[in-house]
């Protein structure tokens, strides 16, 4: 007896559908590959290279061309001068050449031995250049009538230059120095500790505060919509605006928060909230909680409102008190969303850059890994070192993602 | 806990704590509104709060009794024995106003919190109900304060000038007699600091980002949600992963690539980058929505001889207008608020976006009311949009994104 089973393999219809699907996905895949995968590969590449900010400009041959002497009348003697230099002080350029076309009506008297003049086409081969080389090539000429008629001056025709230089970004120099330097100092472990503190407390804080806000608004009354909108403000406003508002509010010299605390007698003198260890780290963590509690609030509220209310009525009948109902009915139902929110927020807080960068710039013991990328690359101008930190961040991210994917499958629909 | 569950303990305790909360609140409000010296007096607050809590919890007075108590409390405050101490230089009107506001608010709210407590021992239910009412009141005050104060300071600072700010950082009262001069920093931002251009740039870039993002995300999301092909599950997972790659990791190579190709300082560079950061979000939100649409409608369309693309265009898209609205709003918000890439990639002041423009105001030479006015200019449009379309926005946020 033959077994009945659904047909296996792909029929023509399924193949057509798959083709259409890939067709629809192609633009997205291309864009993502170009702007996300390519940079990701690039950052690994750069992290093994001794790149400085200044290396981004490849050395090039800079050329200035002018004519000296009189060129107003037939028979005047003049000199065409080409001044060339290597734009880099520390990198050589190989095989420097330049080519130019002379205007009509110039009788060239003498050609530099490195150059060939073929009719009006000038070509010079200047060989290999050391860093910082300067050269001047002169071409004495006598003016003829055609030059005056043509009205073209030598500098009107742009001269072209060639020359190859080894670019540190593309050559085969690789080194582990960036990573060695990164892991050798104590600084790295402080940065790591700060990042973990910020991430763990920022995440838990935002979840707990969000849970309270959700409990507060989990009943319908007039103005509930307005309050919900209001509580989302910190998340919706541009980070740059709220970060500066906090800076001004907590300014040590003329901030309102300090004035208020002094007036209430909480503190005898002004506190430098964003400038002192360890207060600055606590403040940026509080800022993180303040800015992202709306998100957890929104998600938790959405989940709360989907819990069946019959359950609470039954519990009421059985004499469960409000706190018991919260603990034994609500919390178990919310655990799923809370764990997913925790993982997501954990990853995003770990990756957060703008907030700390704007509030403290990484000073006063608030330098996290992401701020360190910026510091190394732009403040210290060592792009390679910045890339090495970025690679470390990416490695952490991959580890978190494994956890995340394990849990997200249980909580689909987020 | 059990020891607390007697009306004689619960009501004075909650009353005392509530008085501390309320007197602090009123002191902060009055300080921020007038700049005068208001501070809560902790001992008196506990004492009077406890006494009033006890009397109301035991319903010792009728309505008129409570009115008399309220008046007495206000008089105590003005005389300096109340839960709120008022600086001697404060004028009579703010003093009286604070005293009446605190005493009325307190009597009323304590009445609400404690009114139905029975005499003697309380059961767990009754006790927790009172505690929850207390916590709810505290919650409203707490959350409103933490949300409103930074924005209040932002707006009010933008109306002041440097001298006024240094003189009394607490005084946010507005001198209406100045008239249009109040808006001086806004005026200067638009006339001298090019904020009109920045506003336009931000708007232009954000709208373009929304359009490009949707153009990429709609077909992609449809394919992931509806069509069967190998690697579908893997693909929808990868979207989430990509969505978690930190921008700062990508920013370095992008900076290098843009520097060498001359795309730095151009709109085209920015408009190339922004959508890619938002496509994964949009894709994820949209595919969730598409999946929720009834497949039967589309199948009917296919049966009637429409091609897949025609089905998407004529059936799926019109059905998903609300989702498209919320995705657009969310993408607009991300693009409008974006700071890092604009900061790294734009150096030319004529090409600044608003966030980049505000960052350039952060220098010691530019007075800070300008910085705050700039912040207000960047915040108001997105808030207006958000409040006007709040329903879409919250739906969009919960529909599949917790990016921040």
Q: What is the pLDDT of residues B195-211, one digit of tens each?
A: 999 999 999 999 999 99
What is the C-alpha separation between B154 and A173, in angstroms, rounded? 51
Q: Which residue has the higher pLDDT, B176 or B284?
A: B284
Nearest CB to A245 within list B151, B260, B337: B151
CB pairs under 8 A between A and B: 285
Q: Which residue has the higher pLDDT, A3 or A267?
A: A267
Domain termination site, one of A164, A197, A231: A164
pLDDT at residue B94 above 80? yes
Domain termination site, one of A118, A143, A164: A164
3-state secondary structure chain B: CHHHCEHHHHHHHHHHHHHHHHHHHHHHHHHHHHCCCEEECHHHHHHHHHHHHHHHHCCCCCHHHHHHHHHHHHHHHHHCCCCEEECCCCCHHHHHHHHHHHHHHHHHHHHHHHCCCCCCECCHHHHHHHHHHHHHHHHHHHHHHHHHHHHHHHHHHHCCCHHHHHHCCCCCCCCHHHHHHHHHHHHHHHHHCCHHHHHHHHHHHHHHHHHHHHHHHHHHHHHHHHCCCCCHHHHHHHHHHHCCCCHHHHHHHHHHHHHHHCCCCCHHHHHHHHHHHHHHHHHHHHHHHHHHCCHHHHHHHHHCCCCHHHHHHHHHHHHCHHHHHHHHHHHHHHHHHCCHHHHHHCCCHHHCCHHHHHHHHCCCCCCHHHHHHHHHHHHHHHHHHHHHCHHHHHHHHHCCCCCC
Asked whether residue A202 falls in the same domain as residue A104, the answer is: no
Listed in order, the ranges of chain B carrying CATH 1.10.3720.10 are 186-399
Q: In CATH, what number is assigned to the domain containing residue A399?
A: 1.10.3720.10
Query: Phi and psi dihedrals of A237, rounded to 5?
Result: -70, 150
Report residue A411's pLDDT band, with 50, 70 and 90 as the boundaries. Answer: low
Q: Which residue has the higher pLDDT, A106 or B266?
A: B266
Q: Which residue has the higher pLDDT, B400 or A292?
A: A292
B225, B298 in Cβ contact below 8 A? no
A103 domain residue, yes or no: yes
pLDDT tens per residue, range B233-277: 888 778 777 878 888 888 888 998 888 888 888 999 999 999 988
A40 domain residue, yes or no: no
What is the C-alpha separation between A196 and B3, in angstroms, rounded? 41
Output the pLDDT for position B402.
45
A294 domain residue, yes or no: yes
Total number of domains constituting chain A: 2
Model's pTM, two decimal places?
Answer: 0.87
Range of the domain at A327: 177-411
Angle A253-A255-A257 from CA coordinates, rounded to 5°: 125
Output the pLDDT for position A389.
92
Q: Which residue has the higher pLDDT, A89 or B329?
A: B329
Residues of B in contact with A321 (CB under 8 A): 124-125, 128
Asked whether residue A355 falls in the same domain as residue A398, the answer is: yes
Residues of A in contact with B275 (CB under 8 A): 31
pLDDT tens per residue, range A4-38: 666 666 778 788 888 888 888 888 888 888 888 88
Q: In CATH, what number is assigned to the domain containing residue A100?
A: 2.60.40.290
Report residue A228's pLDDT band, with 50, 70 and 90 as the boundaries. Answer: confident
What number is the average pLDDT over the span B111-116? 85
Distance from CA of B400 to the nearest CA of A (A): 5
Residues of A in contact with B151 (CB under 8 A): 233, 237, 245
Output the pLDDT for position A174.
81
pLDDT at residue B32 above 60? yes
Please tell me which residue of chain A has the smallest CA distance to B359: A240
Specify the length of chain A in residues.
414
Please tell me which residue of chain B has the smallest CA distance to A390: B249
Asked whether residue A264 falls in the same domain as residue A400, the answer is: yes
A31 domain residue, yes or no: no
What number is the average pLDDT over the span A389-414? 76
Output the pLDDT for position B1.
65
B161, B367 in Cβ contact below 8 A? yes
Distance from CA of B253 to the nearest CA of A (A): 5
A121 domain residue, yes or no: yes
Output the pLDDT for position A4.
65
Q: Residue A250 gets which letter from DSSP?
A: T
Asked whether residue A341 falls in the same domain as residue A392, the answer is: yes
Report residue B100's pLDDT band, with 50, 70 and 90 as the boundaries. Answer: very high
Output the pLDDT for position B260.
83
Strand-pairing partners, residue A82, are A65, A137
Q: Which of A45-49, A64-68, B377-381 has the highest mean pLDDT?
A: B377-381
pLDDT at residue B79 above 90? no
Output the pLDDT for position A279.
94
Q: Which of A132-141, A157-166, B97-106, B314-323 has the lowest mean pLDDT?
A: A157-166
Q: Which residue has the higher pLDDT, B107 or A221?
A: B107
Domain termination site, one of A164, A192, A211: A164
A22 domain residue, yes or no: no
Percentage of residues in chain B with pLDDT exceeding 70? 97
A28 domain residue, yes or no: no
Asked whether residue A279 falls in the same domain as residue A386, the answer is: yes
Chain B interface, best mutation among A10, A19, A28, by max B CB count within 10 A: A28
Query: Phi and psi dihedrals of B280, rounded to 5?
Result: -60, -40
Nearest CB to B252 within list A216, A244, A390: A390
Query: Phi and psi dihedrals of B121, rounded to 5?
Result: -70, 145
Output the pLDDT for position A414.
43
Q: Which of A139-148, B190-199, B262-271, B388-397 has the lowest mean pLDDT?
A: B388-397
What number is the average pLDDT over the span B158-185? 78
A26 domain residue, yes or no: no
What is the C-alpha separation between A369 and A392, in angstroms, rounded? 9
- Inter-chain residue contact B379 with A241, CB threshold 8 Å: yes
Output the pLDDT for position A9.
66
Asked whether residue A195 falls in the same domain as residue A319, the answer is: yes
Output the pLDDT for position A413.
45
What number is the average pLDDT over the span B375-380? 94
What average pLDDT does chain A have?
85
Output the pLDDT for position B120.
82
- Inter-chain residue contact B217 with A353, CB threshold 8 Å: no
pLDDT at residue B404 above 50? no
At the top level of CATH, which class does the domain B186-399 belong to? mainly alpha
């Amino acid at each position: 007896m033959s077994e009945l089973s659904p047909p296996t393999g792909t029929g023509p219809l399924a193949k057509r559908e798959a083709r259409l699907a890939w067709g629809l996905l192609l633009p997205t895949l291309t864009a993502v590959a170009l702007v996300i995968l390519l940079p990701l590969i690039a950052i690994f590449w750069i992290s093994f290279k001794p790149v400085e900010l200044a290396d981004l400009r490849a050395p090039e041959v800079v050329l200035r061309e002018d004519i000296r002497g009189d060129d107003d009348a037939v028979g005047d003697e003049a000199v065409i001068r080409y001044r060339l230099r290597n734009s880099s002080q520390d990198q050589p350029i190989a095989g420097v050449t330049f080519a130019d076309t002379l205007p009509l009506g110039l009788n060239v008297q003498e050609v530099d031995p490195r150059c060939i003049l073929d009719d009006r086409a000038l070509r010079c081969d200047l060989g290999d250049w050391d860093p910082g080389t300067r050269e001047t090539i002169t071409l004495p000429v006598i003016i003829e009538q055609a030059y005056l008629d043509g009205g073209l001056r030598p500098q009107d025709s742009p001269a072209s230059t060639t020359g190859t230089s080894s670019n540190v970004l593309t050559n085969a120099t690789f080194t582990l120095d960036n990573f060695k330097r990164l892991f050798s100092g104590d600084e790295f472990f402080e940065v790591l500790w700060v990042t973990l503190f910020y991430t763990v407390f920022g995440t838990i804080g935002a979840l707990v505060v969000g849970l309270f806000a959700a409990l507060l608004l989990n009943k319908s009354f007039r103005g509930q919509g307005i309050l919900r909108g209001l509580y989302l403000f910190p998340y919706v406003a541009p980070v740059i605006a709220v970060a500066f508002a906090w800076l001004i509010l907590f300014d040590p010299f003329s901030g309102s928060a300090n004035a208020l605390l002094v007036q209430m007698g909480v503190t005898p003198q002004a506190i430098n909230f964003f400038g002192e260890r360890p207060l600055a780290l606590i403040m940026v963590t509080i800022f993180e909680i303040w800015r992202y509690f709306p998100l957890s609030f929104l998600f938790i509220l959405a989940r709360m409102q989907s819990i069946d209310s019959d359950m609470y009525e039954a519990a009421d009948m059985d004499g469960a008190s409000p706190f018991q109902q919260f603990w034994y009915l609500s919390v178990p139902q919310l655990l799923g969303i809370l764990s997913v929110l925790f993982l997501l927020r954990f990853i995003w807080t770990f990756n957060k850059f703008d907030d700390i960068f704007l509030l403290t710039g990484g000073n006063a013991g608030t330098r996290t890994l992401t701020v360190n990328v910026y510091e190394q690359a732009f403040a210290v101008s060592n792009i390679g070192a910045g890339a090495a930190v970025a690679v470390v961040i990416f490695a952490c991210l991959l580890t978190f993602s494994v956890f995340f994917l394990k849990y997200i499958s249980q909580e689909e629909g987020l | 806990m059990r020891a607390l569950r007697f009306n004689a303990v619960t009501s004075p305790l909650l009353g005392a704590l509530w008085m501390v909360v309320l007197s602090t609140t009123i002191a902060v409000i009055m300080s921020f509104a007038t700049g005068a010296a208001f501070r809560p007096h902790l001992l008196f607050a506990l004492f009077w709060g406890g006494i009033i809590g006890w009397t109301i919890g035991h319903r010792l007075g009728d309505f008129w009794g409570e009115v008399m108590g309220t008046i007495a409390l206000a008089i105590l405050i003005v005389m300096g024995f109340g839960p709120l101490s008022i600086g001697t230089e404060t004028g009579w009107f703010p003093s009286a106003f604070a005293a009446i506001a605190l005493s009325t608010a307190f009597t009323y709210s304590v009445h609400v919190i404690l009114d139905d407590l029975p005499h003697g021992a309380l059961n767990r239910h009754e006790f927790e109900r009172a505690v929850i009412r207390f916590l709810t009141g505290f919650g409203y005050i707490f959350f409103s304060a933490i949300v409103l104060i930074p924005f209040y300071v932002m707006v009010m600072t933008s109306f002041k000038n440097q001298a006024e700010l240094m003189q009394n950082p607490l005084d946010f009262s507005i001198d209406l007699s100045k008239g249009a001069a109040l808006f001086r920093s806004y005026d200067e931002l638009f006339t001298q600091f090019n904020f009109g251009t920045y506003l336009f740039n931000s708007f232009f870039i954000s709208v373009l980002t929304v359009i490009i993002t949707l153009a990429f995300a709609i077909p992609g999301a449809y394919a992931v949600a509806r069509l069967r092909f190998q690697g579908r599950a893997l693909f929808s997972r990868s979207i989430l992963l990509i969505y978690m790659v930190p921008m700062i990791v990508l920013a370095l190579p992008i900076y290098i690539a843009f520097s060498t190709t001359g795309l730095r300082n151009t709109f085209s560079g920015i408009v190339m980058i922004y959508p890619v950061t938002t496509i994964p979000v949009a894709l994820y939100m949209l595919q969730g929505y598409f999946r929720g649409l009834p497949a039967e409608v589309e199948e009917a369309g296919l049966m009637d001889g429409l091609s897949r693309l025609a089905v998407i265009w004529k059936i799926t898209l019109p059905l998903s207008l609300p989702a498209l609205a919320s995705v657009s709003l969310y993408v607009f918000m991300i693009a409008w608020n974006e700071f890092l890439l604009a900061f790294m990639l734009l150096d030319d002041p004529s090409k600044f976006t608003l966030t980049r423009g505000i960052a350039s105001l952060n220098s010691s030479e530019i007075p800070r009311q300008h910085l705050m006015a700039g912040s207000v200019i960047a915040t108001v449009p997105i808030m207006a949009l958000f409040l006007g379309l709040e329903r879409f926005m919250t739906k969009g946020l919960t529909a599949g994104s917790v990016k921040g």
